[in-house]
Amino acid sequence: MDCQEWEHPHQCDREDPEMPLDEPDQTVEWLSWVILLLAVVGLFTVIPWIWAAAVLGAKALWALASLAVGLVGMVLGAVLKLTLGALGFLLKSKLVWATAAVVAVAAYLTS
């Protein structure tokens, strides 16, 4: 079939004449939903800190922030240790196990 016989002759430079002209980009739509979700989650994580600062005062807020940072450090340390430990089990490498132990100890000490 000659490209001049197509339903849209201006598509002659396209390889597939059946491909729709204006196909929406799913990646952009997906990213917009992710950004919206992150904004909502961020809003709900900031509001308690603002409330705590207003109600409890600066010293209590500092104590809460220290506790939160410590908990996050412990969780991240555990996740890293489990991840590197699983890699070590899969690879049977003592270097990966040693790295997992060092990362876990460092995460615990910094929290």
pLDDT in tens, 24-67: 556 666 767 777 777 777 666 666 766 666 676 767 767 777 77
> Can you tell me the mean pLDDT for 8-14?
57
Boundary-marking domain end, from 35, 56, 77? 56
Residues 107 and 65 in one domain: yes
d(CA 93, CA 72): 28
Are 44 and 78 spatial neighbours (Cβ–Cβ below 8 Å)?
no
- Is 82 found in the same domain as 49? no
pLDDT tens digit sequence for 57-95 = 767 767 777 777 777 777 777 777 777 666 666 666 666
Q: Are residues 73 and 105 in the same domain?
A: yes
- Please give the tally of structural domains in the chain: 2
Select from 11, 34, 56 the last residue of a domain: 56
The residue segments making up the domain with residue 67 are 57-111
pLDDT score, position 70: 74
